[in-house]
Amino acid sequence: MPEQTESASRRLLRRLRDTLAEPGAGQERLDRITTIIAEQMGTDVCSIYLFRDADTLELCATEGLKPESVHQTRLRVGEGLVGRVAKTARPINTGNAPQERGFRYMPETGEEIFSSFLGVPIQRLGERLGVVVVQSKHARQYSDDEVYALEVVAMVLAEMTELGAFVGEGEALAALHQRPVMIRGTVAQEGVAVGHAWLHEPRVVVTNPIADDPETELKRLKEAVDRLRVTVDEMLNSATTGDKDQLQVLEAYRMFANSRGWKRRMEEDIARGLSAEAAVEKEQSAARARMQTVPDPYLRERLHDLDDLSNRLLRILTGQGERTGAERPADPILIARNIGPGELLDYGRSLRGIVLEEGSVGSHAAIVARALAIPLVIQAGRVTTEALNGNLILLDGEQGIVHLRPEETVRAAFEDKIAMQAKAQKRYAAIRKEPAVTLCGQRITLTMNAGLMADLPSLESSGAEGVGLFRTELQFLVRSKVPRRSKLAALYARVIDAAKGRRVAFRTLDIGSDKVLSYMKPQEEPNPALGWRAIRVGLDRPGMMRMQLQALIRAANGRPLTVMFPLIAQLDEFRAAREHLLNELDREERLGRVLPEKVEIGAMVETPSMAFAPRQFYELADFISIGGNDLKQFFFAADRENERVRRRYDTLNVSFLTFLEQIVKRCEDTGTPLSFCGEDAGRPVEALCLTAIGFRALSMRPASIGPVKHMLRKSDLAEARAVIDAARASGAQSVRPAVMDWLRRRGE
């Protein structure tokens, strides 16, 4: 890099720093900055465009264009060359702007006399803030050094915008992180919550983007990178689990930490006048921008690794670790890009809600959030860059909407919604100890789903008659190695104790697909949901299943034991699993251990194949539980992790209800107890329809028992069945409209 370019760049940044240090309002500073950039770069024009909302850029300052166009000229993202820079997050450099694809002439600016155009995005960690543009009358392309210099300037502008240096009148100059923001995500656990933001990984704030002494900054960067390399090496040396995915990530970390290109780019940024922190963040911002446009999932993951490594390096340089001195609010709503199950359990029930920028419906975090009954919204884009610790948040886990720093009208409407729900909860509390008996005299058994000891107090508070599903995999997911048999036996015994004589149905280990154990060799499968999972893993790796069955038998210690096997797809699988349990009972008896008073052995029907299984299956099973979430996705061939298709198919679809009714009739013919387990069982309208077609037991999250019981106690199943049958006869695709109309006419 030529020495004179380095010096010119440093002079420009020094002038910017001095200008920013002078007193003045945000508009004055922007005006002075455009003048300095135009003078220093020898251009006729410098303009700064900032976002006034998520889709609109506004000209906020200019040197060279008509002054009256400031705050009047606006562009949509993607519109004109400036809009293209904002959309793609990449520079545009052209010597003949009017001939460039997408050029838009803005007559109020007087820019028709300028041929050359260089636009660079102003962005920080993937957050788009605006565009800085230089233009000249004579046709020429700007050199690589000039493009690079303007990128460095844009980096400083981003940092100063973040620090509030350009706050003024109007939307475009409004202070960041103070405006109301609504973010749409995906529901992973229903519920609503009001609280204050608590960032799992607090933002690193760079307060000194411009540095005087490049040698000092280069030394700081070298020392920080050396510390980072040592940390990564230590992480690799301590990774004794042999988990292929974990080792791959750590190897990627090591590769980036030792990347000469990564370090060289940061050194060049420092030579241009940036501080070490700003140089790291400039590279991190570039990585995040690329991450958003790269379609290849492997490359996206590698950019994610680089982003994470940059964050570690920033924390070393700034000393801003996770402990920032901020006090956790009394009503925390956790904000994170993603989070592991163990970390989430550390927070426990202290959280009012959780918002993740990434995540999936079936992720470990979602499983734990459901177990803890904490509202969770995932895929909430930009939430980690928008939220600050202590910001008020309204989390609508029914709609998948997050209101950050809401306006008073939104807050009032949300509080009205919560008040209505609280009023309804009082009604539900009044019938907590009452049975779920319909107007036509049918008694429905309502049980709860659980997976942690912390769930068990809900047995009393919710009015559940037992645990229809205890997910045993949570104890395996949150550990770094296989739990000991004695520990599992003690845990299961505490669960049975807490149930106080109520029935608890333990589902054996349901792993695979989206539930991968860190200490188990991952399987490369094109479609994990249809792959090696649940009972298939248990039958192929019988050692772990035998250990778990032994723990369950010992936990019962003479009391009744109920065990069900997941994802049974054919009769022989159930026979084999059942045989394993019977063999363990025989073995425990030979060892002189106390056997359960009674043993029920059941199956979860989650694949359509079992609706057509031989009669012997229904006769052999002591009970059957429909796993509604998986059965529905396999019935409709619609991945429940895929937002494009999972909401496309209704549980009350005529075909699905008819299919379920077939299973109900087969169970009635053989006298096999049947229940429906899943999210749909906890939705009052769906629960009403399921009981109307013959289900007499439903298992759901504890919070749903009250609303479902309330609906059933004031409904006549014969009337509901008549409405369903009429809708079917009419050729309707779903019975939902007819049922909802019937409920409205009843005043529901």
Each residue's pLDDT tens digit, 535-593: 998 998 899 899 999 999 999 999 999 999 999 999 999 999 999 999 999 999 999 99
pLDDT at position 5, please? 46
- How far apart are alpha carbons 200 and 198 in whole angstroms? 6
Angle at Cα 240 formed by Cα 236 and Cα 246, nearest 5°?
60
Quick one: average pLDDT of 126-152? 89
* Average of per-residue pLDDT across 267-293: 81
- Strand-strand pairing, 45-53 and 127-136: antiparallel
- pLDDT tops 60 at residue 3: no
This prediction has a pTM of: 0.71
- Is the per-residue pLDDT at 168 higher than 80? no
Q: What is the DSSP string of 534-594?
A: THHHHHHSHHHHHHHHHHHHHHHTTS-EEEEEEEE-SHHHHHHHHHHHHHHHHHHHHTTPP
Give the span between the Cα atoms of 240 and 102, in whole angstroms.
54
Token couple for 498: 């807490």
Percent of the chain scoring above 90 in pLDDT: 48
Domains of the chain, start order: 8-163 (3.30.450.40), 181-201+328-420 (3.50.30.10), 214-318 (1.10.274.10), 432-746 (3.20.20.60)
| Of the ranges 113-127, 191-205, 249-263, 541-555, the best mean pLDDT one | 541-555
What is the distance between the terminal CA atoms of the chain, rounded to a whole angstrom?
Answer: 74
**Residue 260 confidence (pLDDT) above 50:** yes
- Asked whether the predicted pLDDT for residue 1 surpasses 60, the reply is no
Positions marked active-site? 364, 677
Q: pLDDT tier at 453 (50, 70, 90 boundaries)?
A: confident
- Is residue 274 within 8 Å of residue 211, measured between CB atoms? yes
> What pLDDT is stored for residue 441 in this prediction?
95
Q: Say whether pLDDT at 208 is over 70.
A: yes
Determine which of 82-86, 110-114, 479-483 has the lowest per-residue pLDDT on average: 479-483
Distance CA 195, CA 406 (A): 12
Q: How many CB atoms lie within 10 A of CB 175?
A: 12
d(CA 139, CA 148): 20
Determine what percent of the chain is predicted with pLDDT higher than 70.
90
Least confident of 322-331, 414-423, 426-435, 550-559: 322-331
User: Is 240's pLDDT higher than 60?
Assistant: no
Question: Is pLDDT of 268 > 60?
Answer: yes
- The answer to whether the CB of 37 falls within 8 A of the CB of 76 is no
- Name every residue whose Cβ is closer than 8 Å to that of residue 485 and which is 6 or more positions away in sequence: 547, 550, 551
Q: Which residues contact 101 (CB under 8 A, 6 or more apart)?
A: none
Instruction: Determine the Cα–Cα distance for residues 489 and 585; give it in Å rounded to an integer.
Output: 15
pLDDT value, residue 302: 64
User: How far, CA to CA in Å, does 163 sit from each of 29, 160, 175, 372, 559?
Assistant: 13, 5, 9, 37, 64
Write the DSSP symbol of residue 328: P
- Which backbone phi and psi does 714 adopt, to 5 degrees? -115, 20
Average pLDDT of span 658-683: 96
Identity of the highest mean pLDDT range in 133-137, 238-242, 535-539: 133-137
State the pLDDT confidence band at 438, using cuts at 50, 70 and 90.
very high
The dihedral region occupied by 377, where left means phi > 0, alpha psi between -120 and 50, and beta the remainder, is: beta
Q: Taking residues 505-512, report their average pLDDT.
A: 88
| pLDDT in the model for residue 440 | 95
Name the least confident of 119-123, 192-196, 290-294, 439-443: 290-294
pLDDT of 636 higher than 50: yes
> Cα(415)–Cα(411) distance, rounded to whole angstroms?
6
Mean pLDDT of 613-626: 97
Between 209 and 619, the higher pLDDT residue: 619
> Does residue 244 have a pLDDT over 60?
no
**Residue 124: pLDDT band by 50, 70, 90 thresholds?**
confident
Q: In the structure, what pLDDT confidence band is assigned to residue 245 with cuts at 50, 70 and 90?
A: low
Task: Kindly state the tokens that stand for 426.
Answer: 């009082």
pLDDT band for 322, please (50, 70, 90 cuts): low
